[in-house]
Structure 1
C-alpha cells in the first residue's frame, strides 16, 4: 500500500481544504530517521495554521500535526541502527498526519514502556509549553499568583497540576462551570466562570485588590487584552495562544499599565536550546508523568487519521472532555 498523508494546498476551514494524498517517501539524509506513526493527538495549534493564521511561516502544500508517537523503521547515514524498533516522538521534522514521518534523530524523544501511546502522543506541545513557561520564562515561586484563561483546555489542566507541583497559586478562568470541579481537584486555587463573572472584578476580590503577578493568555483578541487589567504593575502577561483566531496588539493595549507583555512561541524556544537541553526538558516532564504527579488528558475518541475530517468535527463540537487521537 502506498504511503499516504493528509495535506492542504490552500488555507481555509480544515473540513474543506484537507485532502488524503499518496506521497513518495524521500531518501533519508545523514542524521535522519523514518518513523511509522501509531497515534497523534489533535491540538488547536494543529488547526490554527490550516485556517491561515500564520501564512508567512506555513509553506503550501503542508501536512498538519505537531506531535505523535511511532516506531523507528529506518535509520539514515550516521544514525545508529540500534534505534530501529524504538518507540519515539519524531519531533521537529515533518507533519505527523501521515503514515511515515522523517525527522532528525537528535531531536527524537524515546518513550518509556510505562507510557502508553494515548499519553505519549500528548507529551510535546502542551506539557513542554506549560513547563517552560512556569520554570524558564516566568520562574514561578510559591508566593506568585498566576491567571490562565481558557483553563478548561488540555494545557489549562496542566497549568493547574504544575501549580500544585511548583507551589504557585493559580486562578483559572473558564468559559463555563463545566471544568470547575476538575480544575480545583488538579490544583487550581480558584476558578472564575467568565460567563457569570467579570474577570477583573473577580481577580481584585480574590487578591484583595492586589491583582495577579502574571497572566498567561491562551485566547488572544480582546479577551486576552482584558487580562492586562488583572495583572499588577510590574507583573507580566504572556501571550501564547490564539484560540479566538483574532490577533490583537496586546503590547499596544499595555501602554500605561506597567504590565510587561511577552510573546511566547514554543518554536522560538526550540531554536535557542541545545539537543542536550531539549532531551533533559523532556526527561523532567516524563518523570513527572511516570511518578503520576502530572496526568495528561483522557481519550474521548480514536479515529483513523484518514478520518481526520470527522475527528476535527468531533474536536470542535466540544461535546465532551478528553482528547481526540488519530491512529494508524
Structure 2
C-alpha cells in the first residue's frame, strides 16, 4: 500500500449534518483516518464546494439524500495519500477530482479509485473544485443534451450561479449567443462575459426574452422548476431544447421533496409526446450509474477532462466566490445561500494552506 501521508495529518475532520437544521447546527467531529480497501484510495481534501445540493439537504429537500446524520459535500479535489490493493501505485501523490454526492466535507475521503479524475498540472485545487459538479453539469447539458449549433441563442437562468457561470462561458466558447437571468448587481460581470442580462426581479422575463429572441431560443437551461419551467418551454424556437436541472423555487417549501421533481418529469414526458419537434430533458448527473457504472465513469472522466482543458485554454475562468476553512462550513453555507456572491464558495483545509478570502461580491 502506497502512502504520502505526513505526521501532522493523523486524524480525519468532518462536518456532519445531523438533521434539518440552520447552518449553525452543523457539527464538527474527528475520527481515525480509515485505510483504503481493495480498489480504493484515500484522498486528502484540498478543496470541496458548497453547492445548491447542500442547501437543499440541510432542509431535508434534496430528493434522494441519505438519512440523517451524514457528511455532506457533493464533490472535492485533493491529493491521493494511500491506495488499496489493485490500485496503480503511481496514483499516490497525484491531485484528483471526484464527484461523490455526499462525504466531501471532510479532511480525508475514501473513494473508489475508478471514480477519481486526474487534475492537470498547473490547475489549483480551489480552481479545479469550482469546475467539478458545476463543470460536468454545464458541459453535459450543453454538449450532450442541448447540442445547439454555433450561432444559436440560449437562455440560462441563474447565469451568475455556480453552474450558470460555467455554462455561459462554455456556450460563448461554442459560438452561441447567451441571454442570462440574474439580479442587477451581477449584470456588469455578465456583460463582460458576452451575456445579455435580464433582471428577473425587475423585468417580465418571458416578455423580455421574446423581445431579444422573437423567434424563440434554441435552448433553455432552467434550474428553477415550478412555473419557470413552463415559461421556459414556451420560449423555445421550433426544434429547441429545454434542459431542466432542478427546482430551486421550491427550496424552502414544506411537504414532499420528491413532488417538485416528479411534476417536472411528468411535464417532460408530456412535452416530448407532442409532435412539435421540440425536446425536453430533466438532467440528472447520476443518470446511468446504477446500470452501467463503467460507462458512467468513462463519460464523467472524459467530460471533466474537457472542462479542465477549457480552463487551460482560457475558455472558462474558475470563479471562486470565497475560500473558508472546513470548520467554518456554517459560515460558508450561509454565504452561498445569501445570493450575494458570483461563482462558488469553496471549503479548504484548516491547516493554513487555504486561508480564508474575502467574498467576491
Are 1:93 and 1:103, in contact at CA under 8 Å, matched by a contact in 2? no
Give the alignment partner of residue 201 of structure 2, picking from 171, 192, 195.
Answer: 195
Q: Describe the superposition over 1:169-222 as per-residue Cα deviations: whole angstroms up to 9, x where unpaired.
A: 221122x2222222222132x2211222211211221122x2222211112222
Label 1:324 to 1:87 Cα distance change in 2 as closer, same or farther (>3 A): same
Q: Distance in 2 between matches of 1:280 and 1:253?
A: 31
Give the alignment partner of residue 283 of structure 1, picking from 305, 325, 341.
Answer: 305
1:92: Cα distance to partner? 3.5
Are 1:46 and 1:66, in contact at CA under 8 Å, matched by a contact in 2? yes
1:131: Cα distance to partner? 0.7
Quick check: 1:91 aligned with 2:96?
no
Q: Distance in 1 between matches of 2:335 and 2:101?
A: 27
Please name the residue that 2:185 is paired with. 178
1:263: Cα distance to partner? 0.7
Are 2:156 and 2:220, in contact at CA under 8 Å, matched by a contact in 1? yes
Please name the residue that 1:315 is paired with. 336
* Bigger relative contact order, structure 1 or 2 (CA pairs below 8 A, ≥6 apart): 2
1:234: Cα distance to partner? 4.7
Aligned residues: 323
1:261: Cα distance to partner? 3.0
- Once the two structures are superposed, the pairs formed by residues 110-149 of structure 1 within 5 Å of their partners are 110-149=118-157
Give the alignment partner of residue 219 of structure 1, picking from 179, 201, 224.
Answer: 224
Quick check: 1:165 aligned with 2:173?
yes
Q: Describe the superposition over 1:39-84 as per-residue Cα deviations: whole angstroms up to 9, x where unpaired.
A: 2121112221221123544233211111221111110010122221
Please name the residue that 2:15 is paired with. 6
Label 1:153 to 1:115 Cα distance change in 2 as closer, same or farther (>3 A): same
Are 2:72 and 2:103, in contact at CA under 8 Å, matched by a contact in 1? yes
Root mean square deviation of aligned Cα: 2.4
Q: Secondary structure at the residue paired with 2:105?
A: coil
Q: Which segment drifts farther, 164-173 or 224-233?
A: 224-233
Please name the residue that 1:326 is paired with. 347
Q: Which runs of 5+ in 2 are unaligned?
A: 1-9, 254-259, 350-361
Q: Distance in 2 between matches of 1:43 and 1:87?
A: 21
Please name the residue that 1:103 is paired with. 111
Please name the residue that 2:66 is paired with. 58
Give the alignment partner of residue 70 of structure 1, picking from 58, 75, 78.
Answer: 78
Runs of 4+ in 1 over 6 A off after TM superposition: none
TM norm structure 2: 0.81
Q: Describe the superposition over 1:274-318 as per-residue Cα deviations: whole angstroms up to 9, x where unpaired.
A: 433332222211111111111121x34322111111221222233
Label 1:162 to 1:307 Cα distance change in 2 as closer, same or farther (>3 A): same
Q: Distance in 1 between matches of 2:169 and 2:63?
A: 34
1:143: Cα distance to partner? 3.9
Q: Distance in 2 between matches of 1:289 and 1:90?
A: 17
